[in-house]
Amino acid sequence: MLKDYLIVKNVVFVEKLVDQDESARNEMVAESGGFLGVPFSVVTKDDGTKETIIGFDKGKLEQIISSFNPSITS
Amino acid sequence: MQKNSDNDGNTGNETNQNAVEVTETPSYYKNYSKEDYDKAINEKRVLVLYFTSNWCQECIKQDTINTLSFDELNKEGAIGLRIHILDSETTTETDALSQKFDVTKEQSFVILDKNGVVYFKYTGDLNKELLKQKILEAR
- Among A36, A55, A59, select the one facing B121 at the smallest CB separation: A55
- Please tell me the total count of domains within chain A: 1
Q: Is B92 helix (H, G, I), strand (E, B) or coil?
A: helix
For B93-116, the pLDDT digits (tens) are 999 999 999 999 999 999 999 999
Helices (H), chain B: 2-7, 12-19, 34-42, 57-72, 92-100, 128-137
The model scores a pTM over 0.90? no
Chain A interface residues (partner B, CB cutoff 8 A)? 1-2, 35-39, 54-59
Task: Answer whether B122 sits within 8 Å of A54, measured CB to CB.
Answer: yes
Task: Answer whether A35 sits within 8 Å of B109, measured CB to CB.
Answer: no
Whether A64 is in a domain gets the answer: yes
Q: What's the CA gap between B71 and B117, in Å, rounded?
A: 24
Domain boundaries defined on chain B = 25-137
For A12-66, the pLDDT digits (tens) are 899 999 999 999 999 999 999 888 899 999 998 888 889 999 999 999 999 988 8
B50 near A CB under 8 A? no
Whether A13 is in a domain gets the answer: yes
Which CATH number is associated with domain B25-137?
3.40.30.10
Query: Any idea what the CATH number is for the domain that residue A45 is in?
Result: 3.40.30
Query: Can you tell me the ipTM of this complex?
Result: 0.79
Q: Could you tell me the residue range of the domain that residue A28 belongs to?
A: 2-68
